[in-house]
Structure 1
Amino acid sequence: MISRILCTAFVLCACISTTILCINFKEQQWYYVISTVFSNVSNNDYIDIDLKTAHISRNVYGISGFIDVKRDIPDDAITIEIQMSRSVSGSNNYVVLPFKYKENILYCWLNNMYRDILMPSFGNCSNALQLGNREFKGPLVKKKFEFNKCLVNVDTLPKYLIPAIYKIEFKSNGLAKIYVQLIVRVYNKVF
């Protein structure tokens, strides 16, 4: 009798624990604060870029600035690569993570990573490309893209990240060598 009660109690506890874990991981287990944004371009005859952190509210920072495409850019004239590193100690000891977007031509990046992760974030704070369900077909036409306190929507990112400082580097090669670096602090959410 006692073993039956204990067994039932154990099963009930296991079900409750599993349900709580499932509920918690439906939501993001982390939040981020942008610490620094650095941008540089080697040849501003084609593209000019100036991105920086912008204070939105207490402990909330976004990205403001512009990317100015000064001439039409053919599909295969620029490649994009993204690398992510992490520092748990808070020092400059960054460990390269396997989260990497291997170097690929611009329109492939626009049709994949940009459309899935960045485009939904920029809809309300910029005039950046909005592709909807259509594929981008080049060239990238002359236009100045303005960003005003943009935050990246994390709904499409992993539900759990280790609390640390992350360095995200966007690099391009081709007509213009562009470098954008974001330093982001990730914290655990407290429920």
Structure 2
Amino acid sequence: MWTYSFKFLLLLLFILPIVKALGNEKTWTYTLVDITVTSSDESQVKAEARIERMGRGEFGLSGQIILGILVPPSIDVEVLTYRSADSGQTYKLQPYGVQRQGIYNVLNNFYKNIIMESAKDCSNLPYFKDNITEVGPATYYFEKCQVKTDSFPQYMPEGFLKIVMLSYGEVEVKCEVIVNIEKKTF
């Protein structure tokens, strides 16, 4: 009887990690590598961002965004994603991103669903329940923010991702973030 229970326990110890890995667990992790932000008119939008070390192998984004204007709804935004399998030597456009659309549509969807929850405890960036219809003038700070990956795919191929956020219109802003996607070790 004891050997049967022991064998069953050993079987569970080996099977549970495999079942967990096949469940909702992400098979990947990311490390922030680089961030750059530029603006065509810093009197309207000025931004600076940097990567800060938070601990061993853990990094977050810090910086500020100064909006000198009430952001007009005529500004369009798009997010493009590129992948490199050769350590950032060459990048290829990927099928996921945000198609060019009005800024408030992007804020009420992409920002609200992907970024807002991650930023609420490390910044004074807008946090809202319904929809946001006006932003600025204001100064926003963020300190050691990390993007939660809950709404991201379970599997991501290894390599470097370059995420490029572009705005078009009265002021053009470009934010480029490079992350390294690696297999998660269980």
TM-score normalised by L of structure 2: 0.87
Q: 1:87 to 1:115 in 2, by over 3 A?
A: same
Query: Which amino acid in structure 1 is aligned with residue 44 of structure 2?
Result: Y
Identify the match of residue 180 of structure 1 among 161, 164, 175: 175
Q: 1:32 to 1:45 in 2, by over 3 A?
A: same
Partner in structure 1 of residue 131 of structure 2: 135
Q: SS of the residue aligned with 2:94? A: strand
Partner in structure 2 of residue 150 of structure 1: 145
Q: 1-side partners of 2:83 and 2:159: how far apart?
A: 7
User: Structure 1: any 5+ residue segments left out of the alignment?
Assistant: 1-15
How far does the alpha carbon of each residue in 1:117-154 deviate from its partner, in whole angstroms, 9 at most, with x for none? 0000001100001012x1112x2121111010100001
**Percent of pairs identical after alignment?**
24
Q: 1:173 to 1:27 in 2, by over 3 A?
A: same
Q: 1:129 to 1:189 in 2, by over 3 A?
A: same
Partner in structure 2 of residue 37 of structure 1: 35
Alignment map for 1:20-99 (pairs within 5 Å): 23-24=20-21, 25-74=23-72, 76-99=73-96
Q: 1-side partners of 2:71 and 2:140: how far apart?
A: 15
Query: Following TM superposition, where does structure 1 have runs of at least 4 consecutive aligned residues deviating by more than 6 angstroms?
Result: none
Q: SS of the residue aligned with 1:98? A: coil
Q: 1-side partners of 2:17 and 2:55: how far apart?
A: 32
Partner in structure 2 of residue 10 of structure 1: none
Whether 1:126 aligns to 2:123 is yes
Q: SS of the residue aligned with 1:168? A: strand
Cα shift at 1:21: 5.9
Q: 1:187 to 1:102 in 2, by over 3 A?
A: same
Query: Which amino acid in structure 2 is aligned with residue 105 of structure 1?
Result: G
Q: CA RMSD in A?
A: 1.8
Q: Number of aligned pairs?
A: 173
User: Structure 2: any 5+ residue segments left out of the alignment?
Assistant: 1-13
Query: Which amino acid in structure 2 is aligned with residue 29 of structure 1?
Result: T
